[in-house]
A and B are shown apart, each in its own frame.
Chain A
Amino acid sequence: SYELTQPPSVSVSPGQTARITCSGDALPKQFANWYQQRPGQAPVVVIYKDTEKPSGIPERFSGSSSGTTATLTISGVQAEDEADYYCQSSDYMGKYPWVFGAGTKLTVL
């Protein structure tokens, strides 16, 4: 079955830039979406279709993709950005099944 690979954890100091990667063989052809989940809360989409940002998501969040790796970048990290981040995609033309990465815990030092 298709898999998306994320680092288990990323740590940055406030004001620094955090980069969270997501690797998958189909990512050259399929978009990646990114979700933020704070403790005790439901996930929220922060980036969809590799680079698109929903309204209400702060400017410091951005996404990119190159080859088999998609990247979520948070510039000028704030304490409130400490959360779990999940990438999500599919392996063929958006068809089922849809897959999540295992998640990355972002710690703001």
Chain B
Amino acid sequence: EVQLVESGGGVVRPGESLRLSCVASGFTFGEYGMSWVRQVPGKGLEWVSGINWNGKSTGYTDSVEGRFTISRDNAKNSLFLEMNSLRVDDTALYFCVRVGQDESNNNWFDPWGQGVLVTVSS
């Protein structure tokens, strides 16, 4: 069974940092791209960041560019999101997702972890 388990969430003050982790199991982690998607409670989904299978290609949504860094350790089946200079509007449930991809570079998210809550509050 494919599983994604996030950890590292918590309550921090504006300007502080947090590192999210996601441990994958049930598939060959190093063969897939991965992403982080977040959701403010009661609101919609927002793609945050993505990384390709070998870590050499990354992308970010504009609002986190320069503050967040995505990375991975294929030997440990792990995905990370380093979040610096956190803001109140970064408060959300953060999902770790596996990226399905075909030979034409079309992508979709499957499956999703259960999410980890990040709260930024003074």
What is A's interface to B at a CB cutoff of 8 Å?
1, 30-31, 33, 35, 37, 42-45, 48-49, 54, 84, 86, 88, 90, 93-103
Contact = CB atoms under 8 A, between A and B. Distances in A.
A47 B106 CA distance: 13
Interface in B72-122: 95, 100-102, 104-115
Contacts of A35: 45, 109
Contacts of B110: 44-45, 48, 54
Nearest to B110: A45
A97 B60 contact: yes
Given A44-B112, A97-B60, A98-B35, A90 B107 contact: yes
- Top 10 A-B pairs, shortest CB-CB distance: A96-B59, A48-B108, A94-B105, A42-B112, A33-B108, A98-B47, A45-B110, A100-B45, A103-B44, A102-B44
Nearest to A99: B47
A98 B107 contact: yes
Chain B interface residue number, banded: 20 to 34
A97 B105 contact: no
28 contacts: A33-B108, A35-B109, A43-B109, A44-B110, A45-B100, A45-B108, A45-B109, A45-B110, A45-B111, A48-B108, A48-B110, A49-B102, A49-B108, A54-B110, A88-B109, A93-B105, A94-B101, A94-B106, A96-B50, A96-B59, A96-B60, A98-B59, A99-B47, A100-B37, A100-B44, A100-B46, A102-B44, A103-B44
